[in-house]
Structure 1
Amino acid sequence: MAAKRTTTRRTTKTPAPAPADCESCGGTGTVSSTVRVGRKRRTVGRQDGFCLDCFGTGTAASA
């Protein structure tokens, strides 16, 4: 049998930096757009949708 190691290595690892938030959605993963209806195009509300810059993850895409 091989001899057992009696000492342990001590390594100091720095934690990975947190990914930055997406600029378009602010880290939520959804963006909203105004919904307009009628001939005069009046505003009736807002509709949430999938953020196409970060694909819904909320983190900035690395270029």
Structure 2
Amino acid sequence: MATRRTTKPPKNTPPAPVVCSPCDGSGMVAATVRVGRKRRPVGQQDGICLNCLGSGTAPDA
């Protein structure tokens, strides 16, 4: 009698980390730069995400 070929059970993989919503997992957020007396916007500057502190994963997960 021939041996039966069985499939291996799937390995337990750890769950994927939850992505931070303000920075979408990049760790960087854009902040508008304002200048002048009337505080007009002139551009954007990248900064570290204060929600996840640059890690890109949600802090409450």
Fold match by TM threshold 0.5: yes
Which bin holds the TM-score, normalised by the shorter protein?
0.7 to 0.9
- Structure 1 runs of 4+ off > 6 angstroms? none
Q: Which structure 1 segments of 5+ residues have no match?
A: 1-10
Structure 1 counterpart of 2:30 = 32
Q: 1:1-63 alignment to 2 at 5 Å?
A: 13-62=11-60
Kindly provide the CA deviation profile for residues 11-63 of structure 1, in whole angstroms up to 9, marking residues without a partner as x.
86410011010011110000111000001111110011011111101011136
Q: Which structure 2 segments of 5+ residues have no match?
A: 1-8
Aligned sequence identity (%): 58
TM-score, normalized by length of structure 1?
0.74
Equivalenced residues, count:
53
The letter for the 1-side match of 2:22 is S
Superposed CA RMSD in Å reads 1.6
The structure having more radius of gyration, on CA atoms, is 1
TM-score, normalized by length of structure 2?
0.76
